[in-house]
Amino acid sequence: MTSQQHTGSRRRSFEVSVGAVGAVAMAIALSGCSSGPDYQGTCVDKLTQKRVADSHCNPGGSGGAGGGAGGTGGKNYGWWYTPRGEKAPAVGQKVDLTKGGGSFTAPKSGNVVRGGFSAKGGSVGG
């Protein structure tokens, strides 16, 4: 084998290695990306503790006073924030205030989404 042939095969090997390293780095970066919110806000009637349509908490919704950025609708309605990995209630289902799987207080950090969650409920964040 000549030195020129040897250098060419080394270069090809190096290029594949750099490409493989780039692919691994991209996979690691993407695995850190969130597939959903850290907290999901669903609208809850505070008197009955049952989930209701988001329109009760959204500005201009049927709940009277709007929800606005602060996260509360009419005085009887508010956003119930369920953390990632916990089960958000379905419309008509009561929230469990004693379990610790949510709160009417908006989280101070993380990716928070208000409204738009399935009416059937389900796991938050994935």
Calculated CA dihedral for residues 86, 87, 88, 91, nearest 10 degrees:
-170
Is the pLDDT at 99 greater than 70? The verdict is yes
Q: Which burial class, exposed, middle or buried, applies to 108 when counting CB atoms under 10 A from its CB (0-12, 13-18, 19+)?
A: exposed
CA separation for the pair 51, 90 (Å, rounded): 7
Q: What is the pLDDT of residue 97?
A: 82
Q: Which of 68 and 88 is assigned the larger pLDDT? A: 88
Q: State pLDDT tens for residues 21-71.
A: 444 344 333 344 557 899 999 999 999 999 999 999 986 544 333 333 344
Give the domain ranges of the chain. Answer: 1-33, 36-126
